[in-house]
Amino acid sequence: MIRARRARIVATLGPASREASKVIELATAGADVFRVNFSHGTHADHAATIANVRAAEAAVGRPLAVLADLQGPKIRLGEFADRTVRLKPGQDFRLDTSHEPGDASRVGVPLVEVFAALAPGSDILLDDGRVRLKVRRCGPDFAETVVISGDQLSDHKGLNLPGHAIPVPALTPKDREDLAFALEQGVDWVALSFVQRASDMAELRQIVQGRAAVLAKIEKPAALEALDEILDLCEAVMVARGDLGVELNPEDVPVVQKALIRAARTRGIPVIVATQMLESMIHAPTPTRAEASDVAGAVYEGADAVMLSAETAAGEYPVEAVTIMNRILTRVELDPRWPELMAAEYPVEDADADALVAAAHRAAETASTACIAAFTTTGQTALRLARERPLQPTLALTPNLKTARKLALAWGVETRVVPALTDPEDLARVAVEQAVQTGLAAPGQRIIILAGLPMGSPGAANILRIAHTPRR
């Protein structure tokens, strides 16, 4: 099933959507990648969910990717004796390492690393910024603060330290268990939450060892300071606007989003824009006009994918949310001004593969060209083409199902699994057959072919050919 759009949709699966029939409905409506959130649910739940995605793949006739999203070191408060407390602006409030239930004067924080990052004058945000504290005095295991704003707290609410890198490991013991399980299940992408430094991604890559593609979630200001180094070590990036928006001023979030998209596009790695895209659809069958504009804006900026979270995981209208997002993406790409916004934002590199891909893009601009067929083992040639943002579809042909699923996240890439080829003379035949079968090419149209020699060896594309579909 070919989508009439280039941008991709990531749908989070949860209680409202993880059943087999619902996953098929979501894929049919346009979802390309399915996110499994390891912050919630059991391993048994996740195993069943992943199995349902694999079944849906066969039902819709195209590769679907599974994205395992690790919880990461989300810092949370301890518990209160009465579950909920009322605070007053101007009152004193203490944070410490005690496990004793809290009250309106204090609460425990289970990580001493939090206090190591504090100094007098530091801001502390609780419950996604609903409560703001200012540090008056602090030590290695406590912080005496004053309440600046907010009036209520309850058990296990999140804690953020704007502008501070907290010295906690990127992978918690829970994350390590979840990661081992996800890799056993054969997930296609692994997302690391709360990335702060390049070493966080290096640690993840060391564990994964190529068994899945790795993705950095940018949701800490510290990550922005080390962005280049982080991007060097990841294969995709997510603009996670939820926690990022807690620690940044609201007016800064759109600017950061645009900068992250531009940085990812320059490097040629997929970028996902996430959080609150169609949040009103958790309880409503249609989005607000502002939400539709937000989704459209990400597409105009050239994001590879947009993501639905609670809208599909726990919302009342999961299929409708994917359907309307698909409609928004498709409509934007019909805008006559959209093509000029997709122009590559980087100079052609000197590497042979990049020069060849740029040449393929230019050769494909004629009206008679139906698509660009890229034979790829690892997916790198297809990703290079995605960076170019060609207006013609890219048909990635690979003998590796794992590669095909990984490319479900890539902008404008339609992927099919084909037998491994050993004879270069077979390239044109297979490319034409697949382009016609998928409906990407009509009789008499031109197909641009990219491949690498020797056949079947991982490496960059080094040949460009032109083929034509038969005329009837």
- Annotated catalytic residues are 35, 76, 217, 275
Strand order from edge to edge, sheet including 463-468: 413-417, 394-398, 369-375, 446-451, 463-468
Check: CB of residue 81 under 8 Å from CB of residue 103. Answer: yes
Q: Which residue has the tokens 């912050």?
A: 39
Within 10 angstroms of residue 166's Cβ, the number of other Cβ atoms is: 20
Contacts of 138 (CB under 8 A, 6+ apart): 115, 118, 119, 120, 122, 144
Q: Which residue has the tokens 């013991």?
A: 173
Q: Report the candidate in 367, 420, 417, 423 with the shortest Cα–Cα distance to residue 397.
A: 417
The Cα–Cα gap between 227 and 214 comes to 15
Record the tokens describing residue 436, joined without a space.
């016609």
Kindly report the three-state secondary structure assignment for every residue of 207-251: HHCCCCEEEEEECCHHHHHCHHHHHCCCCEEEEEHHHHHHHCCHH
Check: CB of residue 78 under 8 Å from CB of residue 419. Answer: no
Q: For residue 154, give the H/E element and its range.
A: strand 152-154
Instruction: Give the β-pairing of 123-126 and 159-160.
Output: antiparallel
Give 102's DSSP letter: B
The Cα–Cα gap between 389 and 383 comes to 10
